[in-house]
Amino acid sequence: MEYLWAPWRIEYILQAQTGGCILCQKPKEKDDEANFLLARGRNNFIILNVFPYNPGHLMVAPYRHIAHLDELTDEELFEHFDMVRKSVKLVTEVLKPTGFNIGLNLGKTAGAGIEDHIHTHIVPRWQGDTSFMSVVSNTKVVPEALKETYQKLKSKID
């Protein structure tokens, strides 16, 4: 049997489940570092995904709890995608990926883990970032702890 050592996961496993929307809850807590919240706009925020596909996997979400693109006001929509653009620039400068996957999963069928609160994923990619682990054992290795990634990105955000 192979073991994958990931000691930071115990924090998530042991945390109390609130049952509410995490994308509504985290910005209200006002503890940006503990919640990996990188930036706050007037209508949206940028947060690290705590279950990243790769280091630097960010999400941009509106503060309002809405599920559909057509529910965003023009102001929310512009700021949302401006923050996506700024996220790509930030991650490019700090982590130097060679590509990105950027997108929205609208609805459970489309893969939305949080289906009632719209958010955009920004996933940095590097040549060869899928290894034998993902092919052979359906396991993804994320080579950097969230706190380290957060500190790198936070130190460069404008």
CA angle 76, 44, 78 (to 5 degrees): 35
In angstroms, the CA 23 to CA 95 distance is 25
Homologous superfamily in CATH for domain 18-154? HIT-like (3.30.428.10)
pLDDT for 150 beyond 80? no
Structural contact between residues 114 and 23, judged by C-beta atoms closer than 8 angstroms: yes
pLDDT for the residue numbered 2:
53
Show the DSSP H helices in 29-126 as ranges: 74-95
pTM comes to 0.78
Where do the structural domains in the chain lie, given as residue ranges? 18-154
- pLDDT tens readout for residues 50-105: 888 888 999 999 999 999 999 999 999 999 999 999 999 999 999 999 999 999 98
pLDDT for 138 beyond 90? no
Q: Helix, strand or coil for residue 44?
A: strand
- pLDDT tens readout for residues 91-118: 999 999 999 999 998 888 887 788 899 9
Active site residue 119: yes
Catalytic-labelled residue, pool 57, 80, 117, 119: 119
